Structure 1
C-alpha cells in the first residue's frame, strides 16, 4: 500500500486506477490521520483502508489532489553504512582527489592481495555489527524542495538510499522483533559536502559526519508499507537521473546487514519509538563521489528505488 500525507490526513493510492483517495473523506474518520500512527496499526488498518478506498473509487468520491511533499516529520535519524562496495569505491575516489600519490600503491596492493588497501577499508566494527551515525532529523525536506547548497562547501553530492520507518516501540529487540516494528519505506537522499568530509575525516575527533552531513537531506512524498518491500529488499533496482540523464543504475544486492539487524543493534539498551527513521547507507555507485560526476546549481536530481518510489530535488545556488 502506498500512502502520503494529504490535506485532511492520509491519502491512499488505489493502484488499479492510479487514483489517490482521501481516507477520511472515504469514511475513515476512525482511523488515525498520521501516517506513522496508521502504519502502527498494521494489517487491520490496511485492510479497512483498502475496503474504503475501493468503495470510494466505485462511487467516484473522495479523490485527493493536494498533499504534503513530506509524509511525516522524523523524530530521529540514524544513518547506517550498508554496502562495503560503496565504502571502498568512495574511499578510493576520495584518495584520488585529495592524495593522488597514494593511489598507485593502493592499486598495486589490491592487485596482489585481492582485497582493498587497508587504509581504504572501514574499521573492524563494520564486520562485527551494523554501524551508524545520528543525523539531523530536523533538516529533512520533502520531494520537490530545493537541495540546499551550504556556503561552506564547493563539492555538494547526492546519496541514493532508502529509509525504514519505525512504527512501534522497541528496546533490546531481536532482528525478528525489529523487523515487525518497521512499518514503511521511503527513498532517501543524504546530501553530503565532500570537501568538508575529507577535512573532518582527517582532522576532526568525531569523524566525517558532522557538517559534512547535517545541513540537509530529503525523502520521497510517498511511504510504501513494509509488507510490499521487505520480501524484496535485497534485490531492488535503483537509479540516479540528473537533468533527465541516467548517471547510474545499481541495486540493493550485497548489503552486509539487514535493516532489521540495524534496528536491533540500535535498540540495545535504548528505547526507539514510532516516527524514528533508519537509512540504509548509499547503494553501490549511488553517489557522485563514486562516479566522479558532480552536480551543479540548477541541476534536477532524481533518485529512484524499485517498489519504493522516488525523490526529486533541484540543486539550489551556492549559499
Structure 2
C-alpha cells in the first residue's frame, strides 16, 4: 500500500514510517521540517519538504496517488497555541482542511488522524471514554476538536473513510522537549545531566503516558481496521508527575536529586486517563510497553546517544 504520512519526519512520524516500511508499505513523507529531521532514504520513501497548508500539496497527491493517509503534522505545544493561536489554527485546522480536500480529490481510501486527549479538558469522570464531553482548555485542544469536525463533515459529504485516534501523552525515543508530553523528555534530559528538573504545580496531577512505538502500532492498525471511528489510544494507567520523576530518577541512578516546584501553567489539565477498551476491540491493538519498559528503552537510547556524541561519532 502507498501511504502519505504528514509530519513523517517528526517524533511520532519517524516511528510510524519505520514500522510501515518494516511492514512492506511504500511511504510518502510530507513534512515542513520545522521540528522534524529528514532521515529516510531509499526506493520505498518519497520525501516532500512542504507545509500541508500549501497549495502545492495537490501536486504531491497528483504525482503519488496514495491509497491512505496518516495525518500527524501539527503544531503540538499547548503553550505555543496560547501564545500564537493563529499559527496553531493555520497548522492544525487550515492545514487539515487542505489535506482533506486532496484526500477527496484523489480518492484516498482511508484517513488516520492524530487527535489528542487535550480535546476533553478536565473531564468530570475518569477514565475518559470517547463519548465524554469535549471541553478543551487550550487553543491546541480546540484546534484538534475542530479538525475532527471537519473530518466528520468531509466523511458525510464526500464518503471519506477515517479513524480519529485521540492520543494520550506520547513519550519515547527521539522526543524533544516541545510537545504535549515534553515533561518526560525534559525529565530524562535534566536528570541524565545531573540537573534539577522542575514540576509545574504540586506534581500530583496525573497523566496517561503511552509509548511512541505503541502509538505507531495503533496508527498502522487503523489503516485496515475501523470505519468512521473515534478511538482513545492510551495505556489505561494513570501516573502522577511525581511518580514519573521518581521512576526516571531511579533508572538514571540519581537518587539524591529533588525537583523544583513551580506554579501551574495555564491550559494544563489536572488529571487525564483514557479508556482504551474500544481501541483494543476495534483495532485488535493493545500497548506492548509498560511505563517502566518504555522509560528504560528511552533512557538507554539517550545514554548511548550522549556516549556517541562524547566520542565524536
Q: TM-score, normalised by structure 2?
A: 0.26
Structure possessing the higher radius of gyration over alpha carbons: 1
Which structure has greater helix proportion? 2
